[in-house]
Chain A
Amino acid sequence: EVHLLESGGNLVQPGGSLRLSCAASGFTFSTYAMSWVRQAPGKGLEWVSAISDSGYSTYYADSVKGRFTISRDNSNNTLYLQMNSLRADDTAVYYCAKDSLLRYFDWSLDYWGQGTLVTVSS
């Protein structure tokens, strides 16, 4: 059974940094692209970033480009999101999600974690 477990969410001051982790199990992690998607309180879904199965290719939303870095450790089945220069509008539940297509991007996310809350406030 596929399982994704996010961690690392916390209260952080504006301008601060945070690293989110997503531990994956139940599938061959190294053969699937992964994404981070966030949802501000009471708002809709916003795609944040994606990474290829190898980690070679990465993609970012304009709203986080230059501030966030996605990475993965295929030997430990873990996805990361390093978040720097955090702003109040980064406050959201952050989900990690698995792409549905083996070895390539289909840009459809078939398994999601339960999310981790990031609050940016002074």
Chain B
Amino acid sequence: QSALTQPASVSGSPGQSITISCTGTSSDVGAYKYVSWYQQHPGKAPKLMIYDVTDRPSGVSNRFSGSKSGNTASLTISGLQAEDEADYYCSSFAGGRMVFGTGTKVSVL
């Protein structure tokens, strides 16, 4: 059960936009709409930011958006803010199980 592949780190200046990729296979990301993104600050529990590829839970800023093309999902953070500095994980349903991505550390320069 291999983890989904994410870049180890992504950085940007305040106000900029960044995109984090999440690459899976035709058995997980490419097969289902059940792709989610989570934000985790140090020492804290993860927080759901995007579900079902593109949907935002109530209370999550519209600066966060999700998309998918083939076996790769993406999370875009627009108008980057200092509070966005955190680890981000994607996840996908993979037929009777769930798989997380390797995680991406977002740094705000």
| A interface, size bucket | 20 to 34
Q: Which residues of B contact A105 (CB under 8 A)?
A: 93
Q: Which residues of A contact B102 (CB under 8 A)?
A: 44
CB-nearest residue of chain B to A50: B98
Nearest Cβ on chain A to B56's Cβ, whole angstroms: 11
CB-nearest residue of chain A to B57: A110
Which of B96, B98, B102 has most chain A Cβ within 10 Å?
B98
Question: How does the 8 Å CB contact mask read for B38-74 relative to A, with 1 for contact and 0 for none?
Answer: 1010000111100110000100000000000000000
Q: Which residues of B contact A47 (CB under 8 A)?
A: 91, 97-100
Nearest Cβ on chain A to B43's Cβ, whole angstroms: 10
**Distance, CA A62 to CA B46, complexed state (A):** 23
Binds B, one of A7-15, A18-26, A111-119: A111-119
Measured CB to CB, the residues of B under 8 A from A are: 1, 3, 32, 34, 36, 38, 40, 45-48, 51-52, 57, 89, 91-93, 96-103
Measured CB to CB, the residues of A under 8 A from B are: 35, 37, 44-47, 50, 59-63, 95, 97, 100, 105-110, 112-115
